[in-house]
Amino acid sequence: MYHPTVARLTYRALLGRRRAAILFALPALLLIISAVIRVMTGADDETATTVLGGFALATMVPLIGVVAGTGAIGPEIDDGSVVYLLAKPIKRPTIVFTKLLVAIGVTVAFSAIPTLVAGFILNGNSQQIAVAYAVAAAVASIAYSAVFLLLGTVTRHAVVAGLVYALVWETLFGSLIPGARTLSVQQWSLALAQKIGAEGAISSDVGLPLALVLLIGVTVAATWYAGLKLRTLTLAGEE
């Protein structure tokens, strides 16, 4: 289910100059903001929760997921170079799964790790806030990568669709409409953070059992459907 050559090509595409600039800029901004806040206000748990929840988990993680998830396969479909990959004797599920693993690895590296570091900067991991949000970022990275990889296979406007979901649904509707929070990757991952953090430090609108079911279900369904769409694309190309 893992193909080293596909992985190497995907890493090269994701870490190219343009995408790498975005991938490095967001974590750097988080760390700078965290350092400035720590110097100005000192260690404060509420401030740490606000920064890690409001910027890191709600904005940075989904945006990096968009870049990594759609970039893992979307550009190859857009420019037609995916045909050369599909012509190789590689199973389609292997291609999708390999690209998903790469997207997850990149998203976790550029979101969960900076979130952990930022948490230690902000309050030294008081009440396990840094670890809780880092774990939430890692779990959210898996679901986001699968969803945005799927978008890369079903539409040529995957980046736009991903940004609409990340910024409009997750950030805007998720903060204003209570019912929308149930269908939010952010809230699902927050349920896990709530379990890890000290009592009362972090809250989520979704219970942990339901959150885990939804995280696993969305990840598996998106991966499966992406493989199905890639198989359909192959048949269309052969025709």
* pLDDT tens figures, 76-118: 887 777 877 888 888 888 999 999 999 999 999 999 999 999 9
The pLDDT of residue 174 is: 61
Higher pLDDT, 134 or 183: 134
User: Which runs of consecutive H residues, i.e. helices, occur in the chain?
Assistant: 4-14, 17-41, 45-51, 61-71, 74-79, 82-86, 92-123, 129-154, 158-163, 174-176, 185-196, 208-238
Q: What is the pTM of this model?
A: 0.91
CA distance 85 to 55: 37
In this prediction, residue 17 has a pLDDT band, given cuts at 50, 70 and 90, of confident
Asked if the model's pLDDT at residue 68 lies above 90, the reply is yes
Burial class (CB in 10 A: 0-12, 13-18, 19+), 145: buried
- Cα–Cα distances in Å, from 178 out to 68, 166, 203, 239? 29, 17, 14, 47
CA distance 81 to 222: 23
In this prediction, residue 237 has a pLDDT band, given cuts at 50, 70 and 90, of very low
